[in-house]
Structure 1
Amino acid sequence: MTNFTTGADALAALNSNNESSKNREFTSIKSGSKFIVRVIDKAAVQMAYSYGIFKQVNSFVAKEPSIKTPNGFPTDNLTPWDKAYKYHKDKSKDFNDEHGQEASKYRAKQRFAMAFFDLDKGEYIIVDLSKKQAQSIATVISKNESKLGKKAFELEKVGSGTSTSVMLSPLDLEDLTEKQRANFDKAPTEFDQTVFNGIWYEQNEAQMIELLKQAGFNISLVGYNNVVSTLNGDVDDEPLPF
C-alpha cells in the first residue's frame, strides 16, 4: 500500500476538516466497568496483528507488517519479532517445552478494534479485544442485527488478568436515561471507517528491536547488532511510552 496521495485526492485531504481523521485512542475497559452503547454497524470492526507481552511490553503493530498465511504464520518480510518467534519455534518440539513457550511470547496475535457509540458521552469509543472476545461480541450483534436501530447495549468486562471476558447485552430503549436516549437518537446512522484512523500503535524496525531487548531477547540470535540506531536510519526521537 502506497504512503502517498496525489492529485484530486490530495487536494481533498488538504481542504478537509473532518474530525474523524484525528488519531483516536482505545478506550480502557477494565474489569467491572460498563458502557451503555449503540451499535451503529456490525462491520464496525478492524483487525490487526499485534505484538506484545502481558505486563512487560505494551501491544503494538508493525509499521511494515510481514506477509502471513491465513493462519497468521509469518512467511516473508519478517519483522524482528517474527524472527524471534521463528527462532524459538524452529527449536521447539512441543508447544509446552521451553522454546515453545518462548515462541508464543513473540508471536503476532490477532487483535480486533470494535467501535461503539457511547450513549453517555455522545461519541465513538473503540475497544481492543482478543479474537475470542470479539467473536463473543459479534455473535450478540448478529443475533440482534435486525433491531440495532431499536436497541441499546451494555458493554461490560468481567474477570481479571488474562482470564477476562467482554459481554454485550441488549437493552430496551425504555431502560435508558433521558441523556442516553437523546444521544441514541443523534447517533450516526452509518459507520465511517475513518473512525479507526491512527488507533493502532505502530513501531518501526528499530523500535521493534529495542522492544525485543526490553523483553530480554538476545537480538544477536536473529542477526541484529546491539547498535540499533544504525538500522534503516536513526530511531525516532520520540521516546517509547513504556
Structure 2
Amino acid sequence: MSMFTKVGAAAAAATNGDDGGKDSPIVSFKSGSTYKVGVRSINDVAEYFGYGIYGKVNTFVPKSPAVRNAKGSIQSGHGVWDRASDLLYADAKVAEESGASEADVKPTKDMAYLLRGKKRYLRAFYDLTTGQDIVIDLSPNQEKVIKGAIEENIDDLDAIAFKLSKKGTGQGAVVSLNAIVKMERDLTDEERANFAKLGDEPFDLADFETCLYVADEDEQVKNLVIAGFDIARLGLSIGASAQVPAPSNDDAPPIPDEDLPF
C-alpha cells in the first residue's frame, strides 16, 4: 500500500523512505528560503497524511497507512496514532455529555487533534541553480497558493522561470511562486543554461517515495509515549504492539485545511 493518497494529476486536483541508495530530492523550505526554479508540470505533486508533534516527534508516515476515502476520513486500517486520537475524542465526548465545560475538555481535544494525521503535499521543481530536481513539503493552503501560480502560467511553463519563496513561521508562514519576468537580467548564465534543459526529461514520480520518513508500528508506539499518550489505554507496551479493535471515527471532526508548523 502506498504512503501517498494521491500522486500526479490526482494530487493536483485534490486542492480545487529508501529506494536502493538514490539521494532524496527533498530540500529544506524554512522561513527565508528562496529558490529559482522551473516547473515541468502542474502534476508533479503527491498528497500524503503525516503524523507528528512540532518540537516532540518529527513528521512520519506509517509503514502501513490507513485506507482513507476521498475526503481523507479513515475507512479501515487505523494506525496506533489514529486509535489514540479517536480514544481521546471519545473521552471528550463522554466528558461533555457528563456536563464538563468546553474549557475542561479543550486539553483533551487539543491532544486528540495533535495525534491525527494531517494532510500534506510534496511538490517537485527543477532547481535552476543546481540543475537538479528538488521537492518541498507544503501544507494544503500553501499547495493551493503554489498550484494557483502555476495555473496562471500553465501555457508558458516552458518559457518562464519562477522564484519560490517562504516567509514567516508556523501558521503565519507565507509561500509564493512568482514568475521571473526578465530572465536575461535575473538569471545567471548557468541558470539560463539549466532552464534550457527543463524539458529534457520529466520528473520521476517514484522519487517522492524517498522524501518521507516511514515508521513501523513499534516506532509509532514509542513516538506515542514521547508525545505523552498512555499507550496502556490501547493495550500496548513498548516492544509489544498488541492488536486492539479500531474505534469508530464518527465523532472526530473533519480534517481542517490549514497551515501546520510541522
Q: TM-score, normalised by structure 1?
A: 0.82
Contact 1:21 1:195 in 2 (8 A): no
Determine whether 1:217 maps to 2:209.
Answer: no
**Range moving further from structure 2, 50-59 or 62-71:** 62-71
2:109 pairs with 1:128:
no
Q: Is the 8 A contact 1:63 1:202 kept in 2?
A: yes
CA separation of 1:87 and 1:204: change in aligned 2, threshold 3 A: same
Q: Does 1:199 align with 2:199?
A: no
The residue correspondences of 1:39-58 to structure 2 (distance < 5 A) are 39-58=39-58
Contact kept, 8 Å, 2:221 with 2:241, in 1: the verdict is no
SS at match of 1:228: coil
Whether the 8 Å contact between 1:51 and 1:59 is mirrored in structure 2 is yes
Amino acid corresponding to residue 142 of structure 2 in structure 1: Q
Q: In structure 1, what is the Cα distance between the partners aligned to 2:40 and 2:25?
A: 19
Match of 1:159 in 2: 168
Amino acid at match of 1:44: D
SS of the residue aligned with 1:200?
A: coil
For 2:165 and 2:57, the matched residues in 1 are separated by 25
Determine the structure 2 residue equivalent to 1:182: 193
Runs of 4+ residues over 4 Å off in structure 1: 93-96, 229-232
Among 136, 153, 159, the alignment partner of 1:150 is 159
Q: 1:76: Cα distance to partner?
A: 1.6
Conserved in 2, the CA contact under 8 Å of 1:36 and 1:155? yes
Structure 2 residue 65 is the aligned partner of structure 1 residue 65: yes
Residues 1:117 and 1:25: Cα distance change in structure 2 (over 3 Å): closer
Question: SS in structure 2 opposite 1:137?
Answer: helix
Q: What amino acid does structure 2 have at the position aligned with 1:33?
A: S
State the one-letter code of the partner of 1:198: T
Q: Could you say if the C-alpha distance between residues 20 and 209 of structure 1 is closer, same or farther in structure 2, counting changes exceeding 3 Å?
A: closer
Q: Number of residues paired by the alignment? A: 215
Distance, in Å, in 2 between the alignment partners of 1:141 and 1:20 is: 32
Listed as ranges, the gaps of 5+ residues in structure 1 are: 3-18, 233-242
CA deviations over 1:120-140 (Å, ceiling 9, x no partner): 011011001111111110000
Change in Cα spacing, 1:70 to 1:100, as seen in structure 2 (3 Å) is: farther
Percent identical residues: 33
Corresponding residue for 2:220?
208
Query: What CA distance in whole angstroms lies between the structure 1 residues aligned with 2:52 and 2:127?
Result: 28
Q: Under a length normalisation based on structure 2, what TM-score does the superposition of the two structures give? A: 0.76
